Structure 1
Amino acid sequence: MKSLFKSKPKTPAEIVRLTREILIYLDSNSTSREAAASKTKREEKMLELSKYIRELKCILYGNSEAEPVSEACSQLTQEFFRENTLRLLIICLPKLSLEARKDATQVVANLQRQQVHSRLIASDYLEANKDLMDILISGYEIPELALHYGAMLRECIRHQSIARYVLESEHMKKFFDYIQLPNFDIASDASATFKELMTRHKSTVAEFLTKNYEWFFAEFNSKLLESPNYITRRQAVKVV
């Protein structure tokens, strides 16, 4: 009899909506103003959110028992980009647990490759929300978020228009400093992103270098190729 009353499994779109609702709640509730009861509610919401993000990851990547189902992935992707779920997830990432951050990073990365009716709708969304790249790039200045935001950023710049935005932004100059950060993992991650920017979209990079040749190579040579740090020099050689 018990099985007759089992709750109906949530659809991918429903899981996205539930995720978005909790993210909105987290974004609008600051921990500094919370009373004890509210704090307990927040902790419950965080547990729910972690569960939903993990479910989103399972839908997109599959698990040990099943491969991802294209229709489910399509539903998830459409709902995710229908409203500002990506923005909320990026903004709220600092509030998530480490495991939830890892899962969220994988979800965002996968969604950049999901096609709906032969279109990469992530690209359309990012085209209209390029300021999210500013948040991701600045993440290199926050040690506990740098690797998560960096991984998201590399997937986002797979889209040529987004790579162009980053190349033409003021943030581009920051990479010469990020690659020299004392934290090896973060510096290596920044270097990987820099390499992706400079090698993936050749026509866009050629256009960028034509316009910015002098300052770019002045920075590249003085800060990277001539760096006293051997690892920094080695990373730079991989780009040229």
Structure 2
Amino acid sequence: ICISKPGGATSRAVAQRLRHPAAQPDSTSTSSTLYDKSSSTKMKGLFKSKPRTPVDIVRQTRDLLSFAARSSESRESKREEKMAELFKNLRELKSILYGNSESEPVSEACAQLTQEFFRENTLRLLITCLPKLNLEARKDATQVVANLQRQQVNSRLIASDYLEANLDLLDILIAGYVLESQHMKKFFDYIQLPKFDIAADAAATFKELLTRHKSTVAEFLSKNYD
């Protein structure tokens, strides 16, 4: 056993340690750090975006359609961004009304969507903007409108009420079933257009018109064409 003399280096080291004990972890500081992390996590949770309701989606779609209707003077990059949002919204509306591979449509959500859609002129805006939509978006829009015509809210077909009050939309669509419209003759021009999607849509609509209302069409053709 080695015992150092009082004046040796070992004694001086021991005395030094006694005068300056090793620092102990600050429990207060550790607790504060943990609290800060927990608080930060909670704050992130508070500001997490909420899922959009059917009403929210319809309202945003209406705003985007309004933008599309007047976007001729907008920057190309901004226009493309807004149109992409519009296409996404149309797909979401279709998903709510028809359901998807994971879930069936929810009646309450469909009712909310239908009420908001016909609360203002969303349908008119959609029809006006149809030429500005790409082919897939037009298909989605067509399916949305077709479904909305069957949706009942409080035992009422809101779409029928709206269309009765806005019969001019049938002329705007040109699809129509109003044979005396001056737009009827334009089908022959549209079917021959070099742009495939327009020609195909016109041909399909024209075929539907001729085969679904045979007696009315026969009368119209005999009166207007030799």
- Look up the match of 1:133: 170
Q: CA deviation at 1:219?
A: 4.3
Structure 2 alignment gaps of length 5 or more: 1-40, 194-198
Letter in 2 for 1:85: T
Distance 1:47 1:172 in 2: 30
Q: CA deviation at 1:10?
A: 0.9
So what's the TM-score if we normalise by structure 1? 0.64
Letter in 2 for 1:11: T
Q: 1:89 to 1:217 in 2, by over 3 A?
A: same
Q: How many pairs are equivalent?
A: 178
Residue from 48, 57, 62 that aligns with 1:15? 57
Q: CA deviation at 1:196?
A: 2.3
Q: 1:217 to 1:67 in 2, by over 3 A?
A: same
RMSD: 2.9
- Look up the match of 1:234: none
Distance 1:127 1:101 in 2: 23
Q: 1:179, 1:190 within 8 Å by CA — same for their partners in 2?
A: no
Q: Percent identity?
A: 59
Distance 1:14 1:8 in 2: 11
Distance 1:108 1:62 in 2: 15
Q: 1:7 to 1:128 in 2, by over 3 A?
A: same
Q: Does 1:47 align with 2:52?
A: no
Distance 2:142 2:101 in 1: 20
Q: Does 1:81 align with 2:97?
A: no
- Look up the match of 2:206: 190
So what's the TM-score if we normalise by structure 2? 0.68
Distance 2:50 2:94 in 1: 20
Q: 2:90, 2:141 within 8 Å by CA — same for their partners in 1?
A: yes
Structure 1 alignment gaps of length 5 or more: 138-149, 154-162, 200-204, 223-240
Residue from 141, 161, 177 that aligns with 1:104? 141
Q: 1:187 to 1:41 in 2, by over 3 A?
A: closer
Letter in 1 for 2:66: I
Letter in 2 for 1:133: L
Q: Which has the larger radius of gyration?
A: 2
Alignment of 1:142-161 (within 5 A): 150=175, 153=176
Cα deviations by residue, 1:13-35 (Å, 9 ceiling, x for unpaired): 110000001111121221xx34x
- Look up the match of 2:26: none
Q: 1:179, 1:187 within 8 Å by CA — same for their partners in 2?
A: no
- Look up the match of 2:128: 91
Residue from 183, 194, 217 that aligns with 2:222? 217
Q: 2:171, 2:183 within 8 Å by CA — same for their partners in 1?
A: no
Q: 1:18 to 1:181 in 2, by over 3 A?
A: closer
Distance 2:191 2:101 in 1: 38
Cα deviations by residue, 1:89-135 (Å, 9 ceiling, x for unpaired): 11111222222222111111111111111111111111111111111
Residue from 175, 181, 206 that aligns with 1:170? 181
Residue from 46, 59, 64 that aligns with 2:101? 64
